[in-house]
Each structure stands twice: as C-alpha cells, then as structure tokens.
Amino acid sequence: MFSTELLLKISELQSKGDKYYAPGIFPSQRFHLHFPFEREDNNIFFTASIVFILQNLREKLSSEEQKFADEICRKVIANYPDYKNKDGLDTYNFWRTDGSAHFPNGNILSHVKKVRIPDDADDTSLIYLTSNPSHKKALWLKDKLAQHANLSKKQITNTLPEYKNLKAYSTFFGKNMFIEFDVCVLCNILYFVFQNKLELNQHDHDSISFIRSVIEEKQYLEKPFYASHSYPSAAVILYHVARLLEKYEVHGLSDIKSKIIADLNMLFEVERDEMNRVILSTSLARLGSLTPSPSPRERGAEQAKFSFFHAGLLTAFENKFTYNLAGNSMFHLKYKCEAHRLALILENTVYCK
C-alpha cells in the first residue's frame, strides 16, 4: 500500500542521532527564496506536527501501519523536554532551550539577540495536543495564554486597525514580547482548548471572531501575511481552519463551513503548486466535500522548495515603517521538512482513498 510505503519513508528520515539532530527528531532546513542560503535547523515544530498528523490518522491506518506510526511518535515525544521552558515552566520553544540555540548553525542570526524568540503558543499547543497532558496542566496553559493575550498587558500594533481591540490570543509568551495574531496559531490553540474540554472565555471568542473575519473579508487570500505571519499562504491557512472544523463544532465558524468549502474549491481550480493542491484536497475531504483528488504525480512530487512555515525577520520590530517591509519575501526565511511533506501526502492518501 502507498500509505505503508510513505510511513516507511517517514520512519527512515527520523534521525538516529548526529551532529545536528538528536535521535527521533526529523531534519528540517531554513532557506531563502532569493539567495543561495540553506541551514540545518533543529526545531521541534515539524517533528511535533508530524506526530499530530500521525496520531490523528491512527484510526484510519491498518494495524501494521499503526505500529509504525506509534514507534515514530514514541521516539519523537522523548525529545519534548529538550524544548521545554528554560526556567521549568510548562511552555515550549521552537528551538532547544539548553543554551542559546536560536537560528542554529547560522553565522549571523544565531548571534543577534533581537531575533531570539521566547516560548510560543504554537509549539506549546502542538506538544500538549500530542502528549496527553493532565487536566490541571491544561488549565494552567489556558491561564498562561490569557495572561499574554491582547489587552491583558499590552495592545497589538502589527495588525489591521479593525482587530486592535480584540482580546484574542497572541503567538508568543515572554514578558516583553509584542502581541501577534496568527490564524493558524489560533486554530492550534483552539484545537487544544476543545480537545481538553476547557471552558470558553472572551479570549477564545475573540480569537474565533478574528478567524471568521479574516475568512469572510478574504484577507487570508488578499493579505495572507496580515492574517498569518508564520503561515502566509491561503492554502495553509484554510488547511488549519478545516482541521479544526473537522473535529469540533465551533460556534462562530461552523456556520460558514459552506463558504470555506467554496473557497477551497476555488483555490484548488487555480492553484499550480503541487503540495498546495494536496493540502487543499485534504481540507475539502475533511469538511465532507466531494474532493478533487491530486494526481499521482502530485502525491509523489519531489521536495523542491515547498515551505509550510516561515520566519519573518522584521515582525519583531514594532514600528509602521518596518512592519510595512515585514511582508516582503526578502525578509523571510522559509522552512522545509521532507518528512513533514511526506506526512501531508500520507494524510491526503488516507483521506482521499
């Protein structure tokens, strides 16, 4: 079966331990679209994202495939403590926290303190979603998220004016960190909230309002960077929304599912990137739509430069001039991970049988 073949390939890509990656971590690289630059990047984001995909696919896999998936996940989860908050709090960082490890293997950025990021809600949510935390621990994180939400201590500056008074969750923790709204991060936070059956508060409702407005006003399509600094792609944004709505009835979002399906179909018709077509197809299947299935060539496409996630180098600077430049691809570092790309293809293969 193609799904078994994909699982074996994913397993083979999992590090057995080398100078860049601990055993169980999936290699990933950061690169620039316009310059000949590429570095190995030891982050937990792609590795935890692969576990999230495999755990959610588990019931749809054969018993033999489940064993492969479980072993992959077991090896990954053993690494989570290496990315835990340096002071022992139950939040997690994009990079290892045992020393200064931001932009690893870099010659310049690894020495620039301004771009060293604190723990973030995205990686923390993914780790909580894949490691079965206690209810007490989940409640602690919910409170921590509220402490760093917009208007709890600071007001957001780097968003469109109509969103500045929303008490939505921010991407980052950290006492002095700027506030940031990101549709995809908010979807992962809300997935954590619903999975742990936590009571909704104003921060949850305003996060949902932000996601809804970005979709209804088509800002995710026309201004994707303003909707999602880390995932500025219409296909990837709707992928996150569809993933949330497949699993949970979300008041304020579920009633626009038909619009989301229509937008997904529209994007699939015009999209030329092979991997974007894969995730659009998966998203349609998730929402119960008769999905146009990508061709075998697309499902088995070579890696090339597909990037699911990126780092904006200027988003940390809170002034209008710099923020106007922040959306320019010259100031972005793209990220790729072959194992994650294969996991997305596996997901599509399973959903679109």
pLDDT digits (tens, 9 = 90+) for 144-178: 999 999 999 999 988 889 999 999 999 999 888 88
Give the per-residue pLDDT at 111. Answer: 46
Average pLDDT in the chain: 89
Give the per-residue pLDDT at 122. Answer: 98
The whole-angstrom distance between residue 302's C-alpha and the CA centroid of its chain comes to 22
Domain ranges of the chain: 2-351
Phi/psi of residue 29, nearest 5 degrees: -135, 150
Which pLDDT tens digit goes with each residue over 66-91?
999 999 999 999 999 999 999 999 99
Give the per-residue pLDDT at 316. Answer: 59
Instruction: Tell me the CATH number of domain 2-351, given options 1.10.510, 3.20.20, 1.10.3470, 1.50.10.
Output: 1.50.10
Which pLDDT tens digit goes with each residue over 132-145?
999 999 999 999 99
Instruction: Tokens 């290699």: give the residue.
Output: 27
Which pLDDT tens digit goes with each residue over 88-117?
999 999 999 986 566 555 555 554 555 568
